Amino acid sequence: MQEKTHSLWETGAEDSRFQGAPVSQIGHRLMCLAAFPGVPAAALLVILKFGGYKALLSAIITFGVLCFICGTVTSALRIKWGLGGTYVDGVTLNYNGGFKETFLYLLKTRLLSLLAMAVIAPAALLLLFGLYTGTASIADFLTEKLPFWVGLIVSGIFWVLLIVIGLALLAAIVSPTGFASAAVNRFVYRRTSPAGMPADPNKSGFIGNFLHIIVPRIMITTIPVTITLMTGLIPLRQHSEEFMTRYLSLYGNGNKEPAMKIWTMLQNIVHRGFSVLDVPSDTRDPHAYPFYQETTTIIWTAILLGIAFLVLWPWYRYRMMKWEINNTVVDGYQMVFKARMNDYFLQWFAQGFLVIITLGLYGALGFFRTSMWKFRVKHTHVFVPASAQAKRDSYIVSADELNMSWRAKLRSTINATSRGKAKSYFKRYWTLYALLVIPLVYILIFKYIPMLFIQIGAKENNIVFSIWDVPWAKNFGFEHFITAFDSTAFKQALRNTLVLNGLDLVFGFPMPIVLAILLNELAFKKFKRFSQTIFYMPHFLSWVIIASLSLQLFNPSSGLINMFLQRLGLSGIDPFNLPFQWVIMFVFLGVWQSAGWGTIIYLAAITNINPELYEAANVDGAGRMRKIWHITLPGLRPTIIILLIMRMGGIIGSDFERPYALKNTIISNWSDVLSIYVYEYGLRGQKYSLTASVGIFQSVVCLIFLFGANALAKKFGERGVM
């Protein structure tokens, strides 16, 4: 029997889709997380009040139990809801588990795995305890009764056990569901079925599950921990040295040489590998022991942990997902997971990056999970046997009709009609080209020719000679980039640009949306028009004017705001002298100036939303918030995405007038952004090459961000800007 992978309508991704809104996902996640901040805070309070181990222990237990229960509730809800909102090839998946059963089952498996952990844990704890405190007695025993080599081997085994079991214990703590997930997967797929029919169970056996789900999980938890230990968050060396000194000194008779040799060798490895917060400073020779330097250690730890969580984690999730789906049979149909690894990675990073910068961590997790579900379902297909094919063929639309796009049709029609007119074309339309001459010459001179001059960034600093005659700079022309990235001023400017733009994005981007919705909801029409007029007003003020205004308003002695604060009995503010307050003022003034103007686009988008939707919602008895949430915001989504893309393009670009008007010498460490750097070092300090290379850097990063954000938006099925 010939079988092939098949999508029902032959349109690919269309029919594997995920229809749940992210809201439930976020809600469930947040319900769990809502318990999180309260418990440790209470625990902290208890500890501070009463102190001691008992308080700590009780806090840990309470925290653990609450998190365990909340986590299980969330998982059960997510499984139920996630599978319930899924379509695969036109077939609705149904989850027949029921919330209560799922919850109980999850609870049972997780508790069992925790019990298993509880058996391992004491043993490991004993070992750890013995090695750290009872070392001497064990060593005494070993050295008195047994020959030297046996002692060495036994202590070596102890060390291996310490590392392995300690890490396994950590793995168990970090991932309490690790051992249970295989069982949970079988349970979940046994209860999943299209159209409510009973499903065949997940095909994979226990061993396969163990290899594909548990082993990667252990790896993902142990590898970062191992790396962290290796690079030195725990000062193991001191203990090992003590241990060995005692060991060797006790072993009085006999030849120490071979043992010392081996031990020195081991110690060298340990020295280099296990870093060492307790090494005396005079031995910190960075050439001999690169890990000795604390900063190096921290950087390496960060890099390796980053690799572990950014590469290994998605790798493991992908592997697990593929294994699960490829081993699932639903109603006799084999599920197939077709996503490639790099797609998954892209999705992972893109989604993580986008959501984390646009939302808080809490909402981000929910959105992240939703998008991962969508991805999973998009790439899940049904493997249809040939016998079932015939039944489905009757539905399939003619492939020619689908393949011929409307663009192609349109193009063929246009070609057919315009060919006849070609002869008289230039005679008729030469004036159009004549009109275009002036703008094109302008564009050429003032936009494209400067692009040729960008090369000054890679040449020696010279403006007297023609730019073509100036020799190239050192380091293959990268001299100025290197200088820039070495200089504190540039780094400071880069930091300030990123910080100020980031804050602008966080606070300035959502404000117009909120304002537009407010204006839209405003019931009094005349008042609405009046407020619009006033809201637009700040946009028409120049930054010099706004700086004058704010200098006046925030004046510590006579300013309006400080007068107001004084009348309220509060302490005054002085943003022009205090960097932190200056940053806040900068962001606030940005919002003040541009939020009203930004509403224009959103208001226009709101008017384009079909009013019937609102009427239907009214009939259904939806309240104001519901209408905003379910109609207005989804209607604004494309606009928001496009504007967000444009914002992303400008994340490193910097406006000149705003910071330059608001800055002064006192807070210049926080206000000097890249454009000010270019002005002060380039135009005033005449370091043209240096600042031109900074400009190149800025433009290229802008382009990368713009195209990246655009590609991401398109990847998620949104309309991009290009």
Partner 1 sequence: MDWFYIIAAGIAAAIQIPWTVVTIFRVRDKKANPWALIVIWIVVPFLVYWLSFILGVFIAVFSLVWQLLNIIYGKKPKAGDWMIAFICTLIIVVCILPLINILARSLSDAEALMRSEVFLWPKGWNFDAYKRVLSDAKFTWALAWTAFLTVAGVVLSIFITTIAAYPLIYDNLKGRAVINTAIIFTMYFGAGTIPMYILLNDLNMLDTWPVLLVPYCLSVFNMIIMRSFFYGIPDSLRESAEIDGAGPVRVLVSIYIPLSTSVIATLSLFYAVGRWNSYTDALYFISNKTYFPIQLLLYNLLKSLQSIDPAQEVVRTPGLSETLRMAAVMFATVPILLIYPWLQRYFVAGVTLGSEKG
Q: How far is the CB of 506 from partner 1 (least distance, A)?
A: 7
Q: Decide: is 456 part of the binding site for partner 1 (CB under 8 A).
A: yes
Which CB, 119 or 722, lies closer to partner 1?
722
Q: Decide: is 617 part of the binding site for partner 1 (CB under 8 A).
A: no
Which own/partner pairs from 586-589 qualify as long-range (CB within 8 Å, at least 24 positions apart)? Answer: 586/500, 586/658, 586/659, 586/662, 586/671, 587/500, 587/503, 587/504, 587/507, 587/508, 589/546, 589/550, 589/658, 589/662
The residues in 414-453 that bind partner 1, with binding defined as CB under 8 A, are 414, 418, 421, 425, 428-429, 431-433, 435-436, 438-440, 442-443, 445-453
Task: Tell which one of 255, 405, 558, 571 touches partner 1 (CB under 8 A).
Answer: 558
Task: Tell which one of 9, 68, 159, 656 touches partner 1 (CB under 8 A).
Answer: 656
Helix (H) or strand (E) holding 501: helix 488-503
Which CB, 58 or 96, lies closer to partner 1?
58
The residues in 162-221 that bind partner 1, with binding defined as CB under 8 A, are none
Q: Decide: is 302 part of the binding site for partner 1 (CB under 8 A).
A: no
Across 22-50, b (16+ Cβ under 10 Å) vs e yields bebbbebbbebbebeeebeeebeebbeee
* Among 104-112, 317-325, 397-405, 553-561, the segment contacting partner 1 (CB under 8 A): 553-561
3-state secondary structure at position 640: helix
CA distance 591 to 587: 6
CA distance 648 to 705: 6
- Amino acid at position 44, single letter: L
Q: Which two tokens stand for residue 123?
A: 């043993």
HSE at residue 182, side-chain half, CA atoms within 13 A, is 18
Which own/partner pairs from 566-573 qualify as long-range (CB within 8 Å, at least 24 positions apart)? Answer: none
The residues in 670-689 that bind partner 1, with binding defined as CB under 8 A, are 675, 678-679, 682-683, 688
Per the listing, tokens 């609405």 go with 528
Across 132-162, b (16+ Cβ under 10 Å) vs e yields eeebeebbeebbeeeebeebbeebeebbeeb
Task: Tell which one of 61, 527, 637, 719 touches partner 1 (CB under 8 A).
Answer: 527
Q: Decide: is 596 part of the binding site for partner 1 (CB under 8 A).
A: yes
The residues in 346-385 that bind partner 1, with binding defined as CB under 8 A, are 359-363
Q: Strand pairing of 91-95 and 333-337?
A: unpaired
Is residue 324 within 8 A of residue 202, CB to CB? The reply is yes
Question: In terms of Cα–Cα distance, which of 632, 617, 613, 646 is closest to 721?
Answer: 646
Q: Decide: is 118 part of the binding site for partner 1 (CB under 8 A).
A: no
* Among 56-64, 127-135, 341-349, 512-520, the segment contacting partner 1 (CB under 8 A): 512-520
Q: Which two tokens stand for residue 715?
A: 């990847």
The residues in 399-418 that bind partner 1, with binding defined as CB under 8 A, are 414, 418
Q: How far is the CB of 677 from partner 1 (least distance, A)?
A: 11
Task: Tell which one of 548, 577, 610, 618 touches partner 1 (CB under 8 A).
Answer: 548
Q: Decide: is 543 part of the binding site for partner 1 (CB under 8 A).
A: yes
Q: How far is the CB of 491 from partner 1 (least distance, A)?
A: 13
Q: Decide: is 524 part of the binding site for partner 1 (CB under 8 A).
A: yes
Q: Decide: is 704 part of the binding site for partner 1 (CB under 8 A).
A: no
Q: Decide: is 472 part of the binding site for partner 1 (CB under 8 A).
A: no
Q: Which two tokens stand for residue 485?
A: 């990235």
Q: Decide: is 594 part of the binding site for partner 1 (CB under 8 A).
A: no
Q: Decide: is 629 part of the binding site for partner 1 (CB under 8 A).
A: yes
Q: How far is the CB of 510 from partner 1 (least distance, A)?
A: 8
**How many CB atoms within 10 Å of residue 171?**
22
Per-residue DSSP letter, 328: -
Q: Decide: is 615 part of the binding site for partner 1 (CB under 8 A).
A: no
The contact pattern for partner 1, residues 22-51, with x = CB under 8 A and - = no contact, is -xx-xx--xx--x-xxx-xx--x-------
